[in-house]
Copies of this chain bind each other. A is one copy, B any other.
Amino acid sequence: MKPVTLKQIAETLGISITTVSKALKDYPDVSKKTKALVKDLAQTLNYKPNAFAVNLRTSESKTIGIIVPEIVHHFFSNVIKGIISQAEKKGYLVIILQSNESYELEKKQINLLLDKRVDGILISLANGTADFKHLTEVVSQDKPLVMFDKIAKIVKCSKVVIDDRKAAYSATQHLIDTGCKRIAHFRGPLLPQNSIDRFLGYKKALLDNGFPYDPSLVYICECGDMSFDEGKLNASKLLNDHDDVDGIFINTDMVAIGAITEFNKRGVRIPEDIAIVGFSNWFMSSAITPSLTTINQPGFEMGKKAFKQLYKELKAIKKNKSKAIKTITLETILVKRDSTK
């Protein structure tokens, strides 16, 4: 049972394909009578335009692509949800790919999407990505590209981010304001900009408040699958190395929850002995004991904003206007809970 085509409708009604096509699209130069006839028949035959033919004619697929480092991830899955919800409203479908934090895969996937001729691409970079040719390639094809969360400043495209440095600063400032004197930091990997920025925010807050910066108080986490265990491990190391630390700003909630678990086990009181601030506001952070003070990172909203920006550029290009590139910074707030005083 093959799908119905315009041709079949035209033949059945004894009119031309042109008229059928125009009638269905409500062109003003088709008579009401013909329109009604055509629409009725289309309805009863359950006519659906062949998307492949429409794509070819219009050079549009009404499909966009997303690449994230990891799908099974509270933050990214929220961003994806935000993107899809918005895209659906505008009639766009969304192809999802996962780079696994690998530059090579990311590059391959950009090409896959380009080959499929998606209308636009949304991406959050892999930690391993230090070369950006695959991305400038997208831009030079005049295909809308929007980066979110993990971005590359050099690439000339729109971006949706939070101010990681400022957020980290306020997290650290909160520890200082509540009386912490010696504050450690569990940071993310060395490469991605946001883990660098969070570190810099931490450092700046210390210096601005007249605290010394002590590199031995900074611990690195890969923040991959083992985040929780890294939190436990670093908490344990910290207790061995520095018995005077009374506050920690931790790069991400999952690691913070690992640390809390370890401290609970060891009988370290939170926040009395050590106060903790996390980052991301994962839903489990309000569930654990003690509940975690953290920075709210608005994933769903970031996804929505990223799609909206992409959509604007899509429309601009369609009208042959040049697209206006923009960086949107979303607000973050400190959510105070029981892990700080």
Contact = CB atoms under 8 A, between A and B. Distances in A.
Interface of A: 1, 48-53, 55-56, 59, 61-63, 65, 71-74, 77-78, 80-81, 84-85, 88, 93-98, 112-117, 140-142, 228, 257-258, 261, 264-265, 283-284, 287-289
Given A63-B116, A265-B289, 20 more contacts: A1-B142, A50-B56, A50-B117, A51-B117, A52-B55, A52-B56, A63-B95, A71-B77, A72-B77, A72-B81, A77-B77, A81-B98, A88-B97, A88-B112, A93-B113, A93-B116, A95-B95, A228-B283, A261-B287, A261-B288
13 contacts: A48-B114, A48-B115, A52-B52, A52-B61, A52-B117, A53-B56, A55-B55, A55-B56, A72-B77, A88-B97, A94-B96, A228-B287, A261-B288
Copies in the complex: 2
A256 to B, nearest CB: 12
A59 B52 CA distance: 8
Contact of A289 (B48, B116, B264, B287): B264
A72 B78 contact: yes
A52 B73 CA distance: 33
Given A61-B52, A93-B112, A80 B71 contact: yes
Contact of A115 (B1, B51, B95): B51
Nearest to A49: B115
A80 B96 contact: yes
Most buried by B among A1, A49, A115, A142: A115
Nearest to A70: B81
Most buried by B among A53, A96, A140: A96
Nearest to A75: B72
Contacts of A265: 289
Nearest to A53: B56
Contacts of A257: 287
Nearest to A257: B287
B141 A1 contact: yes
Contacts of A84: 71, 96-98
